Amino acid sequence: MKRFRVDHTKVEIMYRQYLPKIGIFWYDMESEELFGIDKVVAYECHFNSRGIRTTKTPHKKYWENEKLKREQCNKPLGPFKRDYVTVPKGRVYQNRNKEFLILCGLWITKEIIELIQFEFDLFDVPLRVVIEENIW
């Protein structure tokens, strides 16, 4: 009888690949794509004192770090050449009711919501879009 060896690392990666994620992102209106995505599997983060589970990455810090990395490697800045506050951005988080929320600005459309769902594996989970006027 032939025995098969199971690579638990690969099994874990395959399993985690489809779990819902939380994190931050930007949306490029010209290319109609998400970019600057920083995400993690939701269950890997703890709820904060306000009952929210999200990454601790601030948009501004991520933007500055990405821009600096590209400059140091002589790579094109791409969308990072702009001021980060002028580019549509958002955050995916989860509340204690196990509901996932997309926090974004008035620029959001049904098509962009679908991109976010796909990128953050937010299918078959409770999902709500929270629009705030002061978020670009």
53: β partners:
94
Residue 124 falls within a domain, yes or no?
yes
What is the pLDDT, as a whole number, of residue 134? 73
Domain assignment of residue 118, given as a range: 20-131
What is the pLDDT, as a whole number, of residue 84? 86
- Do residues 28 and 79 make contact, with C-beta atoms less than 8 angstroms apart? yes
In this model, does residue 13 exceed pLDDT 80? no
- Do residues 26 and 79 make contact, with C-beta atoms less than 8 angstroms apart? yes
> Mean pLDDT lowest for which of 29-38, 40-49, 113-122, 127-136?
127-136
Residue 74 falls within a domain, yes or no?
yes
pTM equals 0.85
What is the pLDDT, as a whole number, of residue 60? 94
Number of domains in the chain: 1
**Separation in Å, CA 8 to CA 4, 32, 43, 131:** 12, 37, 19, 40
